A and B are shown apart, each in its own frame.
Chain A
Amino acid sequence: MKKTIIITIALGLSAITGWLATGCSKTEIVEVAPPGVSFEKLTDALHMVLENDRTVYTQKVVNRLVKEDKVIKASEHWSEDQALPLPAQMFRMGAELTASKDAWFSYSLQSLWPINKSNAAGQTEVEKKGLEFVAANGGAEPFYGQETLGGQNYFTAVYADVAVAPVCVSCHNEHKDSPKTDFKLGDVMGGVVIRIPMDS
């Protein structure tokens, strides 16, 4: 009888130990659901990276070397002139490189006062609305909208593109094709448009 009781207790303890062990390991491999990110948060994050990189290039590279140290020029024809690409061109090259990698999102620099008119020729109604919105509020907050292009639904965000350095203002005000020539430091000159497809 004693023997039976001991065996029963031993089996019970083993079962409890096994259950605990299994439970512990289960806790370790529980799959954590990926954090849900809203379209707004996603485009905000993308924009922060884009804006910061561009601001650093504009202030620490172009403005410093062109305006302050005067050791090199920045030129629209940068390759031919052996000069620095303009910040807007650096931004566009990055956007084109992203597109060349068949990225599922896209971004571009747009303006209500474009130097290159053909760049603005295809502006969508949502883009125009967004550009007007950020220009009117001085970049205080971004614009979020939705649109359907080529049968695909998109979440489209527009962020103010602000003149962060004197070189932005002087270049736009002096360019022969610029439709606006009275920009000041801190003005909204255009907008960064980020577009995310909403359907899988």
Chain B
Amino acid sequence: MLNFLKGNWYWMLGVTALAGYLGFALQGGAEQVLMPGITTHGHYQIELDCAACHTPNMGVKQESCNECHAEELERVDDSHPVIKFKDPRNAERLAHLDARYCITCHREHQPELTTPMGLTLPADYCYHCHQNIAEERPTHVGLDFDSCATSGCHNFHDNTGLYERFLVEHLDEPDFKPDAYLRVRDYYLTHFGERGEALEQARAEYPHELKVSQDILHDWSATSHAAAGVNCRACHDMPDAETGVMVWVDKPNYESCQKCHDYEVKGFLEGKHGMRLAHGMSPMTPGMARLPMKPESAHFELSCMSCHSSHEFNTTFAAVDACLQCHDDQHSTAYKNSPHFQLFTQAEDGLRTPDEAVSCATCHLPRVEVSKFGETLVRVDHNQNNSLRPNDKMIRAACINCHGLQFSLDALADPQLIRNNFNGQPKVHVESLDMAREEQERTEASRR
């Protein structure tokens, strides 16, 4: 035996090492070990899906960036689209900053270089093309180029809440608008109200052999689903992967919701809660998150049902308590001491209308207007990235419904006010509107 070991120890060591590595790789550990550096807050959830961004030779595909981000960039009328830099006359500029490629400014796995906005360039990059801006805009004389992207001034891509005409149109607004109401969700009222006649418990349709609790039946019968004639099978019947025949599924996933709520599910899959599912990975759990989360929720798997529950579909719960069952950062925990929460509870108590109830979802999963075929309807954007970083992306979707633009910009630029969930007045003053006013007055004077 000893002789056998002596003669074959290197084989045994090799086989043991190989088995260990394969086991490790099966757990996803190989990618983790090969990770060249910590990924950004935008990509860490899918960092183990290397092929989502990389070529087999570990290059980076521009197309990968486009697959997830192109639609948003087009929607917000990207101020610096790639095509702008393809013009040969920009060849000299590209030598300084090749803006044809996302990775020029957004390199991954570079934590020591990465700013909160995911930028991996020195912040004065605007200088390369806009060094003469002060000649065109006297209001910008003396401003440092690393201050262009200061909160409330400019963004490289999305300036839908910051461009000059928008600022001018919102000069002199009161901090609190007298007609402060949220948009009313009307899509499902308009398009699904006539789906079918209201159903009561006795008309619930499910396989006879299934034992369905009274609680479930009661929950369902009290929902807008039952009221709109959406029976059990509308959600639980899904096509069999092989035969395509509709079969009953006990726990349907987002694909079931998608049948009617395509817009909402699309946003969910693009957002922080669903992006792992969109990449064919296991569901996101709070335990994977980088933000502080409640330890007791660490293993909670995120799906549509995490916030909307399986049969109650309580949007009031989904708008606040669903968030707070996991999120445990300062901003989240301060919400229930905030003026926004006071409005929310007053609406719950019937002292205000539901469209005055400001919840977590009001700002992070906002109600947005979606136009199609000449009709504009209000739906809920479940992709929180659309209104999160830079946070002035939130202005048009949320803040400005109730607050003046100056107040909104100031509040969003005040880190302490954000931490305490807007409990107080902004102590920061953003000068964008002052500059817009000055520019307007200068133009009017030159015309006289």
Contacts and interface: CB of A to CB of B under 8 A. Distances in A.
A172 interface: no
Nearest to B75: A79
Interface residues of A, number: 24
A25 B120 CA distance: 66
Given A77-B165, A118-B130, A100 B83 contact: yes
A122 B86 contact: no
Interface string B88-115: 1111111100000000000000000000
A96 B83 contact: yes
A122 B136 contact: no
Contacts of A154: 88
**Residues of B in contact with A, size category:** 20 to 34
Given A77-B165, A79-B77, A176-B443, A122 B83 contact: no
Interface string A38-58: 000000000000000000000
Nearest to A150: B91
A195 B95 CA distance: 20
Interface in A111-137: 117-118, 121-124, 127
Contact of B89 (A77, A102, A149): A149
A96 B81 contact: yes
A15 interface: no
Contacts of A152: 88, 91
A195 B86 CA distance: 12
B87 interface: yes
B259 to A, nearest CB: 31
Nearest to A101: B83
Contact of A149 (B77, B81, B83, B91): B91
Given A99-B87, A176-B443, A122 B132 contact: no
Given A100-B83, A122-B92, A150-B91, 14 more contacts: A96-B81, A96-B83, A99-B86, A99-B87, A102-B86, A106-B86, A106-B87, A122-B90, A127-B89, A150-B95, A152-B91, A154-B88, A193-B89, A197-B88
Interface of A: 77, 79, 96, 99-100, 102, 106, 108, 117-118, 121-124, 127, 149-152, 154, 176, 193, 195, 197
